[in-house]
Structure 1
Amino acid sequence: MKKILSILMMLCLLAGGGSLAGAVQKPDYEKYGRIAITVVKEDYPGEEVVDYQYGGRQKVSETDVTDTFTFTVKEDGKPVTVLVKVTHSLESNKLVSLTAERKLQQ
C-alpha cells in the first residue's frame, strides 16, 4: 500500500510540474516517458534499466491518447521487459491512467 501511495505521489508531482518552452522543441511524450521510467525504477529498485524505447501513440478518444514505452531491466543479471502504457489528455495535458506490466520472455 505504501508503495502504491508513493508512486501516486511521485506521479502527481511529475504531472503537476510545468516546463518552460526552450529553444529546442522536446517531443510531446517526453513528460510521460519520465513518469514511466520513474514507475519502472520504483517497481525494480536497485536494478539497472538497460534499454528504453518509445513504442508510439494510439488515439483512445477525441481528447485522450495512450503512449507506449518498453523498458529492459536487468533483474538478477537477466533481462526483463516491462511495457508501460500512459494514457493522458491532449487538451488538459494531464495523466488519465498508467499501467505497467512485465512481459513474458519467449
Structure 2
Amino acid sequence: MNITSTVLTKTAEETTANASYLIEYVTVNDVLTRINANVQATMLDGVEKYNAGYITFENGNVFCNLNGQAKVSLFFLDFERFVEKIKENAGEMQQPENYADR
C-alpha cells in the first residue's frame, strides 16, 4: 500500500478566566493546516454558559464568528496562546506554503 497523505486530527478542552474552549486542530503531512476553537463564555450571572462562537486558523488565515456582546479581544488573546502551545507541542511544525509568502 502506498500512503500518499497523513492527516492527524486532535481535540482538546481548555478553560481560561475568559471562557471555556473546545479545540480541534489538523495536520496534513506534518503541516499545521487548521485550528478551530469553539468558545463557551459565561453569562453575567457567572453560572450559565452560552455559545459565543468560534475562531479558526486555516492555512495561515484567521477568521471568526463571535457574538457581538462578548469581549472578543479576550477570546483572541486566549486563541493566540493556544496556537503557540499547539505549535510547541507539535515540535517545529511546517507552515503551509502560502503562509510563508505573506
Whether TM-score is above 0.5 comes out as: no
* TM category, shorter: 0.3 to 0.5
